[in-house]
Amino acid sequence: MSTNNLTKGKLLIAEPSILNDKEFNRSVIYLSEHNEKGCIGFIINKPTEFVLNDLIPDINCDFKIYNGGPVEQENLYFIHKCPELIPNSIEIDDDIYWGGNFEVLTQLLNDHTIENSDIRFFLGYSGWSINQLDDELNESTWKIVENNYVNLFTENANSIWKNQLMKFGGEYQIWANAPENLSLN
């Protein structure tokens, strides 16, 4: 398999075969960049115990922060649906943008202009070199799917991986319903 069918805006769904991988077990990753050097994405279904105000006290906002991946976990990243409000945003897909002017964003959050359904924050990101992701795809580590969600930010983080597996059918349905900790079964 080649990364030719990989483009920004697609979702990587973790195969059940990586259940022992603590970082990516049951992950759904939104790809925000794909080029000749590799891919960058954010795990969209792994909330942390933090909210924005915990990390940045100057921002009066309790939006949940997600674990975006194992790379640069000391850095805060965000994707959003409001490029008209946040200057310097980078388009990922039709309706989702990456980053932008953080000073403007801070003011918008303090003014409660941006809704939780418009933005998602991450500590860290997931990244692969082009050959590394090719290898993982060849090893059936990920399934690539279109992002067909009306609003990815309002999807239930606890059920998005399971719901994707249920759509795949067959043996995936068994894995979708398996407990997260198989030793408890």
For the chain, report the end-to-end CA distance as a whole number of angstroms.
Answer: 34
> Where does the pLDDT of residue 4 fall: very low under 50, low under 70, confident under 90, or very high at 90 and above?
low
Among residues 176, 122, 128, 180, which one has the least CA distance to residue 153?
122
> Where does the pLDDT of residue 75 fall: very low under 50, low under 70, confident under 90, or very high at 90 and above?
very high
User: pTM of the entire structure?
Assistant: 0.90
Secondary structure element (H or E) that encloses residue 103, with its range = helix 102-110
With beta carbons less than 8 A apart as the criterion, state whether 33 and 7 touch.
no
pLDDT tens for 99-108 read 999 999 999 9
Q: Where are the domains of the chain?
A: 6-158
- Going by C-beta distance under 8 Å and a sequence separation of 6 or more, which residues neighbour residue 28? 11, 12, 13, 14, 43, 44, 45, 160, 161, 164
Q: What residues are paired with 142 via a beta bridge?
A: 14
User: In angstroms, rounded to a whole number, what is the distance separating the alpha carbons of residues 174 and 168?
Assistant: 11
> Where does the pLDDT of residue 182 fall: very low under 50, low under 70, confident under 90, or very high at 90 and above?
low
- 95 torsion bin: left (phi>0), alpha (psi -120 to 50), beta (else): alpha
Token digits of residue 54: 């915990």
pLDDT tens for 136-180 read 888 888 999 999 999 999 999 989 999 999 898 888 877 877 766
Among residues 24, 45, 26, 46, which one has the least CA distance to residue 132?
24
- CATH superfamily placement of domain 6-158: VC0467-like (3.40.1740.10)
The one-letter amino acid at 69: G
pLDDT of amino acid 185:
46
